Amino acid sequence: MSADPTQIELSFLVALIGIKIRILSDLETKANKFNNFVSKLNKANPKTAAADLSECHTAIDCMQLYIMGDPKKHDQEVRRQEDQLQNYLMHARKSNNGILPALLNSQPIMKQPKPTTFTRGSPDEVRMLMEYGEKFFMTFCPGVQQRIKKFLDACQ
């Protein structure tokens, strides 16, 4: 995204952030499922089918392909999605520096009166966006607060 962030609707940027976080969450879930599978195999009682399976690298590789796809492509996709997320977070912060803190803790902005209009970059823009999108965003995007906090911490 090379456009001037002040020319991109903040709601669009927040939607893109949500989508990227959801994709990353799904990718992490797949990796965790595979890692849990391998961990259980490694802890299996000796002389069981599971213990025998833990010695069969071809079977483990097949399970990895089944659960999360090609490991190299999976890792590349995680990096690509993380890079895009960082880019969108940066653009959102430049567009309206109040949006990311509001996504971390919406209570201060939600205590303000509901605006009838807003201008780009204003607190009213954030208030309006949080009014309509907060519940959806927090439900749809697991891990959003941790990722935003990590981004903001890295910016300081």
Please count the structural domains in the chain: 1
State which of 42-46, 78-82, 131-135 shows the largest mean pLDDT: 78-82
pLDDT of residue 1: 55
Task: For residue range 79-115, list pLDDT tens digits in order.
Answer: 999 999 999 999 999 999 999 999 888 899 999 988 8
CA dihedral 43, 45, 50, 52 (to 10 degrees): 110
Taking all residues of the chain, what is their mean pLDDT, rounded to a whole number?
A: 88
Contact criterion met (CB below 8 Å) for 95 and 13 = yes
Euclidean distance between CA atoms 153 and 145, whole angstroms? 12
Contact criterion met (CB below 8 Å) for 116 and 91 = no
Task: State the residue range of the domain holding 12.
Answer: 5-155
Residues contacting residue 131 through CB under 8 Å, at least 6 positions apart: 110, 114
Contact criterion met (CB below 8 Å) for 60 and 38 = yes
